[in-house]
Amino acid sequence: MTETTNEPGTGTGQRRIRQARRFVDRTETGALVTVSVMSTALLAALAGFLAVSSLTIAPFALFLITAGYGWLRHQELTARALTLAMTASTLLILGLIIVFIFQASMPVLSYESMRVFGVEVPGLRMFLETRWDAVSDPVRYSMVPMIHGTLVVTVIATVVAAPLGVAAALFLSEIAPPAVRDIVKPGVEILAGIPSIIYGFIGFTLLSPWASRQFQTTGQGTYLFVGIVVGLMALPTVVSVAEDALSSVPESMKSGSLAVGTTDWQTMTSITLPAAFSGVSAAVILGVGRAIGETMAATVMLRGVPRLTDPLINVFYGQETLTSLIARNYGEADGLQMDALFVAGTILFVTVLIISIGSQYIEWRMRKKLGGEV
């Protein structure tokens, strides 16, 4: 630490400015002007697009022209600026998703607000009452039945996907001979590739009638079978992430254990799995995220009647999940009901985002612990 960095804030700030000044000095003026015009035009086009202006095309054309010119004359700097803009686009898209779905869910939140100790809490009634009825009075948009449905389906799916997925990942990464691995691994990938609507179709034509007959329920659609199908669809995610985690355990750790005379299985349970534990749990968490967001299979196989099952553990009846609510009702919904669908979307989005960030944190910690690159 030198004396100039006593105050870290201003220190780095000044260094940034110095760096920027040096960069400007070194770069050709022509290149700088081109890139500045290009970025301004792109920002203007973005602003125009957000403001729903038909003039958006003008700055966008200017952007294309300057980018083309820059590509021919100052390729180095133009490429750098363009790739930076592309990188920022991922942040932009995530930001736009947040803004737009939150914004669209606002009106219904204020409609469903409730007074608690004299304080108006927007949207509270959606989570305290259990009535969803968009037609007859009193019109209520409770999310509780759908949250219950999503929860039940996710729990069943996790019970299916987590043990089978981790076992399959162990098989692929530690046990299988190369020839077998070359068959099973693409198989798991193809399982992920089968479109969810096809899973749903098979569930709808085969599983639902079967379940209705065997469990003697009135009508078709059970959370039990939706959960199993969704678990099957989340399985590939669990397998591939857990397999990555297991194979990132250093070979030296495993060899050390085997050299003491353990069986392969003992090495797996007492060395490999504990070392990769956080990665494997991240895999399960990501699988849970997939299961929560699964839409089409649930939409096709469920009843589409938003209510709680009676009793709550009655998994033989499948009413509605957050995802299937959106997919089923977007068509005839308008006004507050459409906004209520956005609330369902917001709940899904926030839950899954938290899950994603949590699993990334777990994976980051694991890589740090194993001493690999962070």
Partner 1 sequence: MASATESDLISGRTDSTEAVAGIAVGLAALLFALSLATFFDVVSVTGTLVGVPVVPLVGGLLILLGGAIITFGIGSYLGYVETTPSPTAGLVAAVAAAVPWFVAGVSVGSIMLGSGSAGGVVLGLVTGAVAFAATAFPREDLGSTLPIGALSILAGLVLLSGIIGPEWVWDLGWEQQASLTAGFVVPALTLATSLYVGWAAAKAYGGFGARGRHVGAYALVYVNALSIVAVLVILLAFTVFRGIPGLLTGAEIGLGVGPEVGLFGLSVQLPVSLPFVMNGVALLNDYQGVLPAIVGTFWLVIGAVLFAVPLGIGAAIFLTEYAERGRFTQAVEVATNGLWSTPSIVFGLFGFAFLIPRFGNGKSLLSGMLTLGFMLLPLVLITSREAMLSVPDEYRDASAALGVTKWQTIRSVVLPAALPGVVTGVILGVGRIAGETAPILLTMAGGTFVPGSQTVDVIGGFKFTATPPFVANPELLQATSALPYQLFALITAGVGLGDSVANPNDFRWATALILLVVVLSFYAIGIGARYYFRRKLQYE
Identify residues 119-158 at the interface with partner 1 (CB under 8 A): none
Residue 336, token pair as written in the block: 């507050």
Q: Which of 24, 360, 368, 372 binds partner 1 (CB under 8 A)?
A: 360
Residue found under tokens 């920027």: 20
Residues 81-100 that bind partner 1 (CB under 8 A): 82-87, 89-91, 93-94, 96-97, 100
Q: What are residue 121's phi and psi, to 5 degrees?
A: -105, 115
d(C-alpha 358, C-alpha 60), whole Å: 38
Q: How many residues bind partner 1 (CB under 8 A)?
A: 101
For partner 1, give the closer residue by CB, 116 or 180: 180
d(C-alpha 130, C-alpha 128), whole Å: 7
d(C-alpha 315, C-alpha 327), whole Å: 22
Q: Is 79 in the site for partner 1 (CB under 8 A)?
A: yes
Residues 101-120 that bind partner 1 (CB under 8 A): 101, 103-104
For partner 1, give the closer residue by CB, 59 or 123: 59
Smallest distance from partner 1 to CB 7, Å? 19
Q: Which of 108, 242, 300, 340 binds partner 1 (CB under 8 A)?
A: 300
Residues 260-299 that bind partner 1 (CB under 8 A): 262-266, 286, 289-290, 292-296, 299
Q: Is 220 in the site for partner 1 (CB under 8 A)?
A: no
For partner 1, give the closer residue by CB, 127 or 316: 316
Smallest distance from partner 1 to CB 155, Å? 16
d(C-alpha 167, C-alpha 188), whole Å: 13
Smallest distance from partner 1 to CB 310, Å? 4
For partner 1, give the closer residue by CB, 75 or 255: 75
**Choices 23-31, 37-45, 49-57, 107-115; region in contact with partner 1 by CB under 8 A:** 49-57
Q: Which of 164, 258, 336, 370 binds partner 1 (CB under 8 A)?
A: 164
Q: Is 355 in the site for partner 1 (CB under 8 A)?
A: yes
Rg over alpha carbons for the chain, rounded to the nearest Å, is: 27
**Choices 28-36, 112-120, 271-279, 348-356; region in contact with partner 1 by CB under 8 A:** 348-356
d(C-alpha 185, C-alpha 175), whole Å: 13
For partner 1, give the closer residue by CB, 200 or 227: 200
Q: Is 196 in the site for partner 1 (CB under 8 A)?
A: yes
Residues 313-342 that bind partner 1 (CB under 8 A): 314, 316-317, 323, 326-327, 330, 341-342
For partner 1, give the closer residue by CB, 77 or 249: 77
